[in-house]
Amino acid sequence: MKIIDIVNPQRVNRKPDKTIVLMSSGDFLEHGFIVKKIELKLYLEKKDEKLGQYSLITSNVETDKGSVEMIYDEGFRGENALEKAADFVTKNLGPSGLITRSIITLQSNL
């Protein structure tokens, strides 16, 4: 099962412009789900002459019972938006917030 938890799923109906894998060990157990992979994906959208590129960053969490892609951040985030987001997640939040949100979404759809 693949869940796209985004109001307009057409925004991610293409290959991302860039992806960063945060975890891919495939054996992390959380609330009865085996988390296989966590990644952040960057979709570049419109470009403004003054503000630069508009970035849509999604989190994608793959488990043994399905995967969930949802919005992590979006806006005019400047250069290296994806790298900055990945750095923030790994250094400040850890991936637990991404996992928890994804598992709640999966549980409500199973």
- The token pair that represents 94 in the structure block: 């850890």
Q: What backbone phi and psi angles, to 5 degrees, belong to 102?
A: -70, -40
pTM of the entire structure? Answer: 0.90
**33-50 burial code (b ≥16 CB/10 A, e <16):** bebbbbbbbbbeeeeeee
Measure the CA–CA gap between 37 and 60, rounded to whole angstroms.
8
Q: What CA–CA distances, in Å, run from 51 to 15, 31, 79?
A: 24, 42, 11
Q: State yes or no: pLDDT of 20 exceeds 90.
A: yes
Q: What is the pLDDT of residues 29-75, one digit of tens each?
A: 888 899 999 999 999 998 888 998 999 999 999 999 999 999 999 99
Beta strand 2-5 with 33-48 is: unpaired
pLDDT number for residue 54? 95
Instruction: Quote the mean pLDDT of the chain.
Output: 91
Give the number of other Cβ atoms within 10 Å of residue 57's Cβ. 22
